[in-house]
Amino acid sequence: MELAVVKINGEDTGRKVVLADSIFGIEPNDHAIYLDVKHIMANKRQGTSDSRERSDVRGSTRKIKRQKGTGTARSGDIKSPIFRGGGRVFGPHPRDYITKVNKKVKKLARKSALTYKAKDNEIMVVEDFKMEIAKTKEYLGILTNLKLNDQKTLLVVNDVDEKLYRASRNLPKAKVLRASSLNTYDILNGGKLIFTEGAVKATEELF
């Protein structure tokens, strides 16, 4: 696949970049994408929810009424889950949600996601650039020149500089990532993918 390289002011540079078919043109594997996205989302979970069961609740263990003859259901101590203030039945406890996915499956999932983006014409290549000033207005101006200011975008660069990161972080629809940090979820959820020339080379080397 061949894409034109665009300047950050929106003009054409006259250069073109060929995207490798081994990365941007494979036969997509939906199951690999599913496994990797599930793995990424599960690893983001904190797993800190906790609840108190009847052994954790403060209270007397004395049987609150006799077993028979009251006309009501039998009951034990006041910490029973049937009473207000009692323990919770089968409540959540801190746990680890981290899962494992093989490296080859992860790589296949990312290639599949990039292939889908390429098929949908959701990839753009811009020249390598650096921010002179760390201002949101400057980065928004670049997106406006590229006619992407109203769209969700993911800028993939070879190396993120501090000014670029600070200029983009206040825009809710814009995100900046290193090529080495690219994952399946960010690719699929990133909207329009904007690769710098250096990021295209770094991505091809990575895969």
Cα angle 153-189-12, degrees, rounded to a multiple of 5:
30
Distances 85 to 82, 135, 200 between C-alpha atoms, Å: 9, 53, 59
Query: pLDDT value at position 177?
Result: 92
pLDDT tens-digit readout, 139-172: 999 999 999 988 999 999 998 788 999 999 999 9
Tokens of 112: 């599949």
Q: Which residue's entry shows tokens 């969700």?
A: 152
Query: pLDDT value at position 31?
Result: 96
Q: 2-45+100-206 architecture in CATH?
A: 3-Layer(aba) Sandwich (3.40)
pTM of the predicted model over 0.85: no
pLDDT tens-digit readout, 186-195: 999 999 999 9
Residues 6+ apart with CB under 8 A from 88: 51, 52, 53, 81
Residue type, 124: M
Query: pLDDT value at position 119?
Result: 93
Tokens of 64: 């609150």
Residue type, 112: S
Q: Which residues of the chain register pLDDT less than 70?
A: none
What helix, strand, coil percent values describe the chain, rounded to 5? 35, 15, 50
Measured in degrees and rounded to the nearest 5, phi and psi for residue 15 equal -95, 160
Query: pLDDT value at position 92?
Result: 94
Domain-by-domain residue ranges, the chain?
2-45+100-206, 46-96
